[in-house]
Structure 1
Amino acid sequence: MFEGVEFVDKQFFWLLLLLPIAVIWYVVKNKKQTAELKVSSIKGFKLVPSVLPKFRHVLFVLRLVALAALITAMARPRSVDVSTKTKTTRGIDIVMAIDVSASMLAKDLKPNRLVALKKVASEFIAGRPNDRIGLVIYAGESYTKMPITSDKALVLRSLDEVEYNTTIEGGTAIGMGLATAVNRLKDSKADSKVVILLTDGVNNTGFIDPKIASELAVEYGIKAYTIGIGSNGMALSPVSILPNGQFQYARVQVEIDEELMKEIANDTGGKYFRATDNEKLSEIYEEINKLEKTDIEEFKFYNYKEMFRPLVFLAGMLLLLEVLLRLTIFRSFV
């Protein structure tokens, strides 16, 4: 009944404690006012059966309900309708540059590096509802998998389709991966432009030097967060393809050009991270999520509707009804 209703002056509800006292007072008074007459016989009296005397207490009930309604009205009930409007005051455009070279199938992260990355990256994307996100994939060359867009379902679908294939040239062209991501962001009007660059190897191919790509990022005001993925030491990695098309795995030394990744991050104002297992990779994306916050301004509009008037009207009608009944139907009994 009172869902969505608040009372401005709740202290007036203490007056409801007077109602039980009024009931007790009425009962005691009624007993004192009831006169008794003892006669030896009532044969000489003509009895006219009437139920009206039994209903005379209705007058007191009407008055009691009227007082309860007045007290509730004094507490000022009102309904509250709250509408919210949000305004994004600082947008962020993000491009995730993902290494899809064969080494990303290494099994030091479970079930492998690429699948582990896709799982964590999808959670990151889903947690950025107010930002635009794009995808770039690279190995020996790079291309845009998804231009920056606010359609998260589309980005997640594209991310799910990311996998190792032999169509793209082999190797690890970090410079080209970064340059393609920068090219996607350079014309962006967003207040903040970010590249999340991930690799598990060293720059060993490509016609764009990573340092040149880093300088381009600085020129366009693009920040790069770099992530080296892979355990320390040896990792079970694909080394060849068997006649049946399956990869043959062997333990291979993990080599990540951390100095280069740190340099790119430092030059662009970002930060370098090392993900040695699934948990650490998840923590890295959580930290980036915290570092790159979108400012959202929220406006709340309150619409109040006073509800005491119907209660006052009800109390007035009940008191008027009591007076009318007292002066008419119950006139002979009260």
Structure 2
Amino acid sequence: MFENIEFANPQFFWLLVLLPLALLWYVFKHKNQTAALKISSVKGFTVTSWASKLRPVLFIMRLLALAAIITALARPQTEDISTRTKTTKGIDIVMAIDVSSSMLARDLKPNRLSALKEVAADFIKQRPNDRIGLVGYAGESYTKTPITSDKAIVLNALREITYGELEDGTAIGMGLATSVNRLKESKAISKVIILLTDGVNNSGFIEPQTAADLAVEFGIKTYTIGLGTNGNALSPIGYNPDGSFRYGMHQVEIDEELLKEIAKVTGGQYFRATDNDKLEEIYDEINKLEKTEIEEFKYYKYEEKFRPLIFLAGVLLLLEWALRNSIFKSFI
């Protein structure tokens, strides 16, 4: 009965201090309520009345009734809370990922592409209320998955992204244009592209500036990320006879001015990730910048529990009155 009970008016519990005061009053005044007869001897008198010994029970019943009434005044109740959330501002996001051979450089561990996929997966999991799509680009671009609210599909597609699906190169304009194409029909209030590259635009037939203008026309914000350490990085520089990559130190070249310009004209920001930790911090920062507004409704249902206490107090008082006017009538 009293599991998970809360009290709406706990201040009434201060009235419980009356109970010990009433008990003290009863103890000190009890003798004055009973007539005394002094005689020289009680020989010949037989005292067998059990009722006189039990008459304090009536006062105890009255105290218990008073305690029940005070507890009832404190209004014990249980609270049931149900919630419902409503997404008031949805965000559609396309992640444009460079999958050129330079993404296999090992300045990030184990390499740039693997590090990106791990961080991007965490980012996707933190966006349960948004739709996300993936675009891959190298010498050309393609849609890995259109924008969808099914995160399992997006995460599975992200895991499948590998080098070698496209002709090698870095077509930043193509990657951005394909991302814009995926978002241009979106009805979302906020549309975002996260474009990551580790190189310089050297392929494709769409200029990055043209793609950026398209993003502006369709109200699409673009965050750009330059990936790679400063200086030289251990990168693929050729092929071994068995077809595997031969690695060597290679100068890191990122067209930061271009990436800054794309971010600026579209209302986004440019970031530079030189190691795994910095890359993770960047995605955390974007996650904070692009927040989906969620409205939460809470419904409270209260169930009052004072009625059994009032019933108990009534029974005690009624029983006390009945005993006082029957069994204990001669003694009280």
TM-score, length basis structure 1: 0.91
Question: What letter is aligned with 1:103?
Answer: S
Q: Work out whether 1:146 is the aligned partner of 2:114.
A: no
Q: Work out whether 1:240 is the aligned partner of 2:216.
A: no
Structure-2 change in CA distance of 1:39 and 1:171 (3 Å)? farther
Q: Deviations over 1:148-195 (max 9, x none)?
A: 11111221222122222x232111111111111111111111011100
Which of these residues, 267, 270, 273, is aligned with residue 271 of structure 2?
273
For 1:237 and 1:65, the matched residues in 2 are separated by: 85
Q: Match of 2:101? A: 102
Deviates more, 1:3-12 or 1:285-294: 3-12
Q: Match of 1:24? A: 24
Structure-2 change in CA distance of 1:13 and 1:178 (3 Å)? same
Matches of residues 251-290 of structure 1 in structure 2 within 5 Å?
Answer: 251-290=249-288
Question: What letter is aligned with 1:160?
Answer: R
Q: Using the TM superposition, give the Cα deviation of residue 51 of structure 1 relative to its aligned residue in structure 2, in angstroms.
A: 4.7
Q: Match of 1:74? A: 73
Q: Work out whether 1:10 is the aligned partner of 2:6.
A: no
Q: Match of 1:131? A: 130
Structure-2 change in CA distance of 1:114 and 1:38 (3 Å)? farther
Matches of residues 122-271 of structure 1 in structure 2 within 5 Å?
Answer: 122-164=121-163, 166-271=164-269
Structure-2 change in CA distance of 1:131 and 1:167 (3 Å)? closer
CA RMSD of superposed structures (Å): 2.1
Question: What letter is aligned with 2:16?
Answer: L
Q: Using the TM superposition, give the Cα deviation of residue 75 of structure 1 relative to its aligned residue in structure 2, in angstroms.
A: 2.0
For 1:113 and 1:159, the matched residues in 2 are separated by: 14
Match of 1:79, SS state, is: strand
Q: Deviations over 1:122-172 (max 9, x none)?
A: 1111111111111111111211111111111221222122222x2321111
Q: Match of 1:120? A: 119
Match of 2:167, SS state, is: coil
For 1:47 and 1:159, the matched residues in 2 are separated by: 96
For 1:157 and 1:253, the matched residues in 2 are separated by: 33
Structure-2 change in CA distance of 1:3 and 1:244 (3 Å)? farther
Q: Deviations over 1:90-131 (max 9, x none)?
A: 111000011111211111112221121112111111111111
Structure-2 change in CA distance of 1:244 and 1:329 (3 Å)? farther
Structure-2 change in CA distance of 1:54 and 1:251 (3 Å)? farther
Question: What letter is aligned with 1:14?
Answer: W
Match of 1:224, SS state, is: strand
For 2:263 and 2:228, the matched residues in 1 are separated by: 18
Q: Using the TM superposition, give the Cα deviation of residue 240 of structure 1 relative to its aligned residue in structure 2, in angstroms.
A: 2.3
Q: Match of 1:319? A: 317
Unaligned runs of 5+ in 1: none
Structure-2 change in CA distance of 1:268 and 1:31 (3 Å)? same
For 1:316 and 1:59, the matched residues in 2 are separated by: 14
Structure-2 change in CA distance of 1:153 and 1:26 (3 Å)? farther
Q: Deviations over 1:260-315 (max 9, x none)?
A: 11111111111111111112111111111121111112222223333333322221
Match of 2:285, SS state, is: helix
Q: Name the count of aligned residue pairs.
A: 331
Question: What letter is aligned with 2:214?
Answer: L
Q: Using the TM superposition, give the Cα deviation of residue 32 of structure 1 relative to its aligned residue in structure 2, in angstroms.
A: 5.4
TM-score, length basis structure 2: 0.92
Match of 2:170, SS state, is: coil
Structure-2 change in CA distance of 1:193 and 1:33 (3 Å)? same
Structure-2 change in CA distance of 1:332 and 1:170 (3 Å)? same
Question: What letter is aligned with 1:178?
Answer: L
